Amino acid sequence: MSEPAGAPSGPPIDQSTKGRILVVDDDASLAEMLTIVLRQEGFESRMVTRGDEAVDAFRTYRPDLVLLDLMLPGKDGIDVCKEIRAESGVPIVMLTAKGDTVDVVVGLESGADDYVVKPFKPKELVARIRARIRRFDAPTQESLTIGDLAIDVAGHAVARAGVPISLTPLEFDLLVCLARKPWQVFTREVLLEQVWGYRHAADTRLVNVHVQRLRSKVEHDPESPEIVVTVRGVGYKAGMV
Amino acid sequence: MLHLRPRGTHWLPEPVRRVLTFWRRSIQARVVVSTVLLSVAVISVVGWYLLQQVQDGLLDHRVDAAIAEANDETAETRDRLEAVPGTEADVASQKADLVDPIIERGATRGFYVVLAGPAGPNGRIADGGVNSSPLLDTSSVPISLEEHFDEEAPTAWTYTTIRTTDAEGVTTSSRGIVVGAQVLLPADAQTYTLYYLFPLDEQEETMALVTRALLTAAVLLVVLVAGMTWLVTRQVVTPIRMARRVAERLAAGQLQERLRVSGEDDLARLATSFNQMASNLQRQIRQLEELSRVQRRFVSDVSHELRTPLTTVRMAGDVLHDARSDFDPTTARAAELLQTELDRFETLLVDLLEISRFDAGAAVLELDDINLVDVAHRIVDATRPLARSRNVEVVVQAPGHPCLAEADVRRVERVVRNLVTNAIDHTGTERAGGDIVVLVAGDDHAAAIAVRDYGIGLAPGEAAMVFNRFWRADPARARTTGGTGLGLSISLEDTHLHGGWLQAWGRPGEGAQFRLTLPRRAGAVLRHSPLPLVPTDVTEPVT
């Protein structure tokens, strides 16, 4: 761990661009097309076509978001995802050619925040990138508690009895969203809208996988959760403990 | 008047039913019981015949001996009477002289004697005045035989029951033969009848012995037959039962199960053939699995290989489309066409890949409790822009309570979205009937969504064909609507994956209704749907 996850990473964002994006895709045409579209939308980007070069490029380029293809030469996209996640909480959006359950879930479990299935519409991709990068702005001075956890919203920090727990920004947002309204049961659709920023997103598996990842970090026993409680047939809510 | 008889055996008491079930299921029990019954019948007949033969033989022999003895005695008596001087006139003493030696001989030789007479209807034994063996009850001589000797008659015999009373007054009776013969008493020149009663004790004892021996033999024979049948059927049935168990395990998917083969008899050959069949099945299933795996792999590869360039083309098309205001009109139109056709190409590709996933059996369910009321509202909200553009209103009619089903929300939403967009497509802008209605209902066993439209409807027979791949109701009209022709096929596969029903109803000019029914619990068998397939606002035509 080079730095506490959740803290703003990299040098201050160049004000002339909306953010820096690392594009990792083995298809050169697609990678180039992506950089064209991203530049049109005001993002700065760099492309990498090999999996084994992706982590080095990530360290030197320090992007605000990573677009990661899962099938890569040199090193598998899943491994790349795990390595980046081990170093940083930077948002990772997977590009996958397979909408199958297993591939998506494996990708999400290895640390990706979101995924886009090829062939995607450029506008949809850009909307998702914006939704992920936007999470970094507008900190509010607020401290919350959920169960025996203390949350410092402005400092993006979660601690149990003074011991900090490292969460990715997305997991942090998910926890804050539940903690702000402990009396409310959130459906998966509402969570998608409030945490991921989607209006009509189809896939609630995103929520399931991220709730599991969050539980594995904050629960005493992830098998019998007390912080993030499942309300059968409806969704999730903050635990009363 | 049909089906008045109760089907099955529910009305029988439990133990009887269990016995009947055992009887139906066990070949061994049936064979053993029927063999035993048959052999009991045959042995009874044979035994009965044997007994008859033995008895007849014994009795014939005894009767011959008895008659011979009686004749001897009578002849000797006659001789003695002829030797008596004609002057003797005391009837009583002559009778006693006549009969006493015979009685004495009878006592030693084992027969009884009665002297009755004089012959004629007035000289019945019962009237008294007879000389007889001591202890003998004279009524042992049957009346019929007495009547026979009312007239003068040669020697005659018949069966009777001999009753004797011993010194203590105990009466015993046994079967016997009575032989009658007439003698002329010189004292009164009257005919008297001598009855000799021969008991059949010896023969009875022999018969009882023979009967006991035969019965013992019969019982042993039946037990032997039963045992042999049981043993023989067991030898045949045991391999069959083993084969059944192995077949059951094969059917349950344990393809490596085989029968043990021992010897070279018919059963061993059956086992060999069975094993060959199992091996062939296993090989073919392996081949199919391999094919399916290759197919899945192929689909996955094609998916990746096609999707990546399509994404690039798609993005390039978008860039061109966004910049079309800078082009001359022809190029701008080309950019627009490129865009719309790319959309079509993309949906077609997605649908094709989905169908091939179903065909490869690679589709899996992500089950959760979902509320179909929420699903209906979400889909109707999502399709509102499309409905507005067609000038159609879509309304949801749902009960106040949640309609839950254990299902994969992604697939169910895809099915409902498909039904709603289909309804919008087929209502068209020239609609006459009314809004599209999405009905939701649910109970403890199932939940259902029905989409009712008042569009062009379905011609007779089309309700079954709408789920066929690339089937179009109206080829001339089809190209203007957006569907790939695979939507309903995919919906049907999605529904079958849940163990649910997807059915269509329609009539030309009256619109159509598509009904999706899902079981409350995944894997449960559906028996009914909470919603009718034929809409309630339709009147059945009089046929």
Is B370–A233 a contact, with Cβ atoms under 8 angstroms apart? yes
* Cis peptide, bond prior to residue A164, ω within 30 of zero: no
Confidence grade of residue A70 (pLDDT, cut at 50, 70, 90)? confident
If asked whether residues A47 and A153 sit together in one domain, one would say no
Domain assignment present for B229 = yes
Q: Which residues of chain A have a Cβ shorter than 8 Å from any chain B Cβ?
A: 27, 29-30, 33-34, 36-37, 40, 71, 97-98, 100-102, 118-123, 187, 189, 200, 202-205, 232-233
Chain A hits for B312, Cβ within 8 Å:
27, 29-30, 33
Using CB atoms, pick whichever of B312, B319, B413 lies closest to residue A30: B312
If asked whether residues A129 and A203 sit together in one domain, one would say no
Residue B289, SS3? helix
**What one-character DSSP code corresponds to residue B400?**
S
If asked whether residues A29 and A128 sit together in one domain, one would say yes
Domain assignment present for B537 = no
If asked whether residues B279 and B329 sit together in one domain, one would say yes
- Tokens 């199958």 found at: A100
Mean local confidence (pLDDT), A125-139: 74
Domain assignment present for A220 = yes
Confidence grade of residue B373 (pLDDT, cut at 50, 70, 90)? very high
B239 is written with which tokens? 């391999």
- Annotate B19-57 with b (16+ C-beta within 10 A) or e (fewer): eeeeeeeeebbebbeebbeebbeebeeebeeeeeebbee
* Of residues A123 and A14, more confidently modeled: A123
If asked whether residues A129 and A164 sit together in one domain, one would say no
Chain A hits for B316, Cβ within 8 Å:
33
Q: Answer with the one of A116, A134, A152 that is the final residue of a domain.
A: A134
pLDDT in the model for residue A241: 54
Substitution target from A29, A45, A72, A231 for chain B, most B beta carbons within 10 A: A29
Residue B156 φ/ψ region, left for φ over 0, alpha for ψ in the -120 to 50 degree band, beta for the rest: beta
If asked whether residues B316 and B216 sit together in one domain, one would say no
**Interface membership of B304 toward A (CB under 8 Å):** yes
Substitution target from A32, A118, A125, A234 for chain B, most B beta carbons within 10 A: A118
B507 contacts: CB under 8 Å, gap ≥ 6: B457, B458, B460, B538
Is residue A12 scored above 50 in pLDDT? no
- Tokens 């761990």 found at: A1
If asked whether residues B280 and B177 sit together in one domain, one would say no
If asked whether residues A147 and A122 sit together in one domain, one would say no
Q: Which residue of A has its CA nearest to B382?
A: A200
What's the rounded Cα separation, in Å, for the pair B231 and A240? 72
Neighbours of A152 (CB within 10 A): 15
Percent of chain B with pLDDT over 70: 92
Contact at 8 Å (CB) between B454 and B433? yes
Task: Quick: pLDDT tens for A97-108.
Answer: 766 667 778 888
Is residue B3 scored above 50 in pLDDT? no
The number of folded domains in chain A is 2
Is B318–A123 a contact, with Cβ atoms under 8 angstroms apart? yes
Q: Which residue of A has its CA nearest to B348?
A: A119
If asked whether residues B138 and B231 sit together in one domain, one would say no
Domain assignment present for B336 = yes
Neighbours of B7 (CB within 10 A): 6
Q: Answer with the one of A100, A134, A168 that is the final residue of a domain.
A: A134
A98 is written with which tokens? 């397979």
Q: Could you tell me which of B147, B203, B145, B148 has the C-alpha nearest to residue B174?
A: B203
Confidence grade of residue B9 (pLDDT, cut at 50, 70, 90)? low
Domain assignment present for B542 = no
What are the angstrom distances between the C-alpha of B460 and each of B160, B386, B502, B536? 94, 29, 18, 19
Domain assignment present for B242 = yes
If asked whether residues A28 and A106 sit together in one domain, one would say yes
If asked whether residues A120 and A160 sit together in one domain, one would say no
Secondary structure (DSSP) of A143-211:
EEEETTEEEETTTTEEEETTEEE---HHHHHHHHHHHH-TTPPEEHHHHIIIII--SS---THHHHHHH
Domain of B299, in residue numbers = 258-363
Residue B448, SS3? strand
**Interface membership of B409 toward A (CB under 8 Å):** yes
Using CB atoms, pick whichever of A29, A123, A233 lies closest to residue B404: A233
Domain assignment present for B541 = no
If asked whether residues B399 and B289 sit together in one domain, one would say no
If asked whether residues B372 and B357 sit together in one domain, one would say no
What's the rounded Cα separation, in Å, for the pair B465 and B310? 32
Is A100–B316 a contact, with Cβ atoms under 8 angstroms apart? no
Using CB atoms, pick whichever of A37, A119, A202 lies closest to residue B319: A37
If asked whether residues A192 and A125 sit together in one domain, one would say no
If asked whether residues B489 and B413 sit together in one domain, one would say yes
pLDDT in the model for residue A101: 63
Is B366–A205 a contact, with Cβ atoms under 8 angstroms apart? yes
pLDDT in the model for residue B10: 65
**Interface membership of B62 toward A (CB under 8 Å):** no
If asked whether residues B174 and B303 sit together in one domain, one would say no
Domain assignment present for A163 = yes
Mean local confidence (pLDDT), A109-129: 85
Domain assignment present for B386 = yes
If asked whether residues B489 and B402 sit together in one domain, one would say yes
If asked whether residues A110 and A162 sit together in one domain, one would say no
If asked whether residues A125 and A204 sit together in one domain, one would say no
Confidence grade of residue B8 (pLDDT, cut at 50, 70, 90)? low
CA distance B315 to chain A (A): 6
Q: Answer with the one of A134, A151, A183 that is the final residue of a domain.
A: A134
Contact at 8 Å (CB) between A25 and A49? yes
Mean local confidence (pLDDT), B455-469: 83
Chain A hits for B309, Cβ within 8 Å:
27, 29-30
* Of residues B319 and B9, more confidently modeled: B319
Is B378–A189 a contact, with Cβ atoms under 8 angstroms apart? yes
Domain assignment present for A207 = yes
pLDDT in the model for residue B435: 83
CA distance B537 to chain A (A): 33
Chain A hits for B365, Cβ within 8 Å:
none
Domain of A117, in residue numbers = 20-134
If asked whether residues B170 and B244 sit together in one domain, one would say no
Percent of chain B with pLDDT over 90: 20
Confidence grade of residue B393 (pLDDT, cut at 50, 70, 90)? confident
Residue A120, SS3? coil
Domain assignment present for A151 = yes
> Which CATH number goes with the domain that contains A160?
1.10.10.10
Neighbours of A189 (CB within 10 A): 19
What's the rounded Cα separation, in Å, for the pair B351 and B346? 9
Question: How far from chain centre, in Å, is Cα B52?
Answer: 44
Neighbours of B491 (CB within 10 A): 23
If asked whether residues A87 and A150 sit together in one domain, one would say no
If asked whether residues A59 and A39 sit together in one domain, one would say yes
Chain A hits for B307, Cβ within 8 Å:
97, 118-119
Q: Answer with the one of B363, B387, B414 that is the final residue of a domain.
A: B363
* Of residues B116 and B86, more confidently modeled: B116
If asked whether residues B175 and B219 sit together in one domain, one would say no
Chain B hits for A31, Cβ within 8 Å:
none
Contact at 8 Å (CB) between A179 and A186? no
Task: Quick: pLDDT tens for B234-260.
Answer: 888 888 888 888 888 888 888 888 888
Task: Quick: pLDDT tens for B92-121.
Answer: 777 887 788 888 888 888 888 888 877 766
Confidence grade of residue B429 (pLDDT, cut at 50, 70, 90)? low
Number of A–B residue contacts, CB under 8 Å: 71
* Of residues A222 and B513, more confidently modeled: B513
pLDDT in the model for residue B482: 60
Helix-helix angle A77-87:A51-61, to 10 degrees: 20
If asked whether residues B377 and B488 sit together in one domain, one would say yes
The number of folded domains in chain B is 4
Domain assignment present for A4 = no
> Which CATH number goes with the domain that contains A121?
3.40.50.2300
Neighbours of A151 (CB within 10 A): 21
